[in-house]
Structure 1
């Protein structure tokens, strides 16, 4: 394997809680992350976004577009009639049946992009989706249209969570979840490329979030069969009461953070001839 092969490690859910955000900043400062994906619909975003500005010089920063956690930024009477987003299973069902209220979703896409840009004072380097909703039929087209309208083609890249069946099989672990996301995201890569947007090539990081398992062993599988522009997602952070009130994934966030900060990560990368780097400059041609 070439010593020049670059992979990116992206921490999801920045802004979810204070503890999660601080943990991600620690990993950024340690040089163990090359991308951060930010939730902007919660109350933590403005302050934590400004803090992120002071730590992200060597990382891509993107919008973690969200339709399944917390509250929308605007009125969505059909999609979120009680003022909170529906669970992901409901969103998937509506998307596959063509029953999504697309006017409301288009407006929420614009609101979340606006809020990201207002705090970061620049456009996102990339866009992905919380629980991979950005790849669902209907949502993907609306997101791509919104990004085209903002002239982001050639400037921002998109996360493609649908890796090849061959690479998924070679990794072995968490194959069922990876194949399910691949099926739901079918056609996303083609649609993004057709509109002029680059995507990662190779994707891993799926987890069952079981605190009884060794995260380092799981991470080793994420590095198998890397694509040409391989992206590994992770969910590090510190557990606090704010997190516990919103999300069931808690203890494993601290386990992931501990691994990222440990010597095991650089040793694992060196053994496989991999180097951490930003995907943006590689796949969009923008300078770092």
Structure 2
């Protein structure tokens, strides 16, 4: 285990001014319900959601961004890739975070290769193999056990939640293994599970937009609802819906607009995923990570949250809202 002095600084590689997004977007007068693109959204009272940084451990820029936003109280959860090169260093810093404010969980990975940890295949390959029941359960189980071991070895505790890279934990075969392993391993202290079910408003555009197509694929082809039903039948708790799906290609103002839309759609118990970071060689979405970090670290964001009646809290604190 690495023993470095824990520090957290904003990613220096992102030189994007966070001042472009207009924070002064209000819900209007306090009302019981407002309509947003087919979803009823509470404008008052306050809604409580979780905000999770994915890919923690991937590189130093992702780690720095995640820890900085955690200290700013802009996010409430980190999902860790325990095979990634900067996981041990990130874990040493994550252990110092207040676990009452920040949940740290496992970002189960089967689709991205790291040194000494080859992927089982691309997400497209896994989707096909899983639906055809050609994916060996043994390989999935071994990968999950190794990653859980690596998490516990560095964090000295069990994961607060479990989700996955590219949402593969919803797939047939994989979901059976995930639920079985977690039940056997953790018993009465089951982790929170992510269900990547999109709001109706995100799906209402259907195949007319790239973001709508991506949300539809995650919700339907990967199998969010079958996973939710099976998990709940076994006693697991999950988030209500997933916000934050887009193509990682937005400008800063564009992502700011998306964030405002997601916050307006939000209901208590929802989970908003984000991927902040800095420019990094080999990270194909690093420009998008810079944009996300700029928006999430914007000094006006707390004002926007207050205007829209949204409070950010850990996943574990939302169990009562989603049970």
Q: Which TM-score applies when normalising by structure 1?
A: 0.88
Structure 2 contact 182–190 (Cα < 8 Å) conserved: no
* Cα-to-partner distance string for 1:180-208 (whole Å, 9 max, x where unaligned): 11112230110110111000012110111
Q: Equivalences for 1:27-46 in 2 at 5 Å? A: 27-46=69-88
- CA deviations on 1:248-273 (whole Å, 9 max, x unpaired) are 10111011111111133222211211
Superposition deviation, residue 151 in structure 1: 2.3
- Report if aligned partners of 1:167, 1:225 keep a CA contact under 8 Å in 2: no
2:159 alignment partner, one of 114, 120, 124:
124
Which ranges of structure 2 fall in alignment gaps of 5 or more residues?
1-42
| Paired residue secondary structure (2:163) | strand
Which residue of the partner structure matches residue 96 of structure 1? 131
* Cα distance, 1:108–1:49 mapped onto 2, change above 3 Å: same
Check the 8 A contact 1:32/1:260 in 2, yes or no.
yes
After TM superposition, the score normalised by the length of structure 2 is 0.79
Q: CA separation in 2, counterparts of 1:153 and 1:85?
A: 30
CA distance in 2, matches of 1:266, 1:149: 41
Q: Does structure 1 retain, via aligned residues, the 8 Å contact 2:49–2:318?
A: no
Deviation for aligned residue 1:59: 0.7
Greater Rg by CA = 2
User: Separation in 2 of the partners of 1:15 and 1:282?
Assistant: 25
Partner of 1:272: 308
Deviating more after overlay: 162-171 vs 226-235: 162-171
Once superposed, what is the RMSD of the aligned Cα atoms?
2.2
Structure 2 Cα separation of the partners of residues 40 and 73 of structure 1: 12
Per the alignment, residue 317 of structure 2 pairs with 281
Q: Which residue number in structure 2 is paired with residue 63 of structure 1?
A: 106
Distance in 1, Cα, partners of 2:201 & 2:226: 17
Asked if structure 2 preserves the Cα contact closer than 8 Å seen for 1:14 and 1:36, the reply is: yes
Match of 2:4 in 1: none
CA distance in 1, matches of 2:96, 2:135: 38
C-alpha contact (below 8 Å) 1:73/1:108 kept by paired residues: no
Contact 1:154 1:196 in 2 (8 A): no
2:15 paired residue number: none
Q: In the alignment, is the contact (CA less than 8 A) between 1:9 and 1:33 conserved in 2? A: yes
Unaligned 5+ runs, structure 1 = 75-82
Number of paired residues? 273
Q: What is the distance in 1 between the residues matched to 2:62 and 2:187?
A: 28
Q: Distance in 1 between matches of 2:174 and 2:116?
A: 17
- C-alpha change, 1:155 and 1:73, in structure 2 (3 Å) is farther
* 1:154 Cα offset (Å): 5.1
2:260 maps to which of 206, 209, 220: 220
Tell me the residue number matched to 1:5: 47
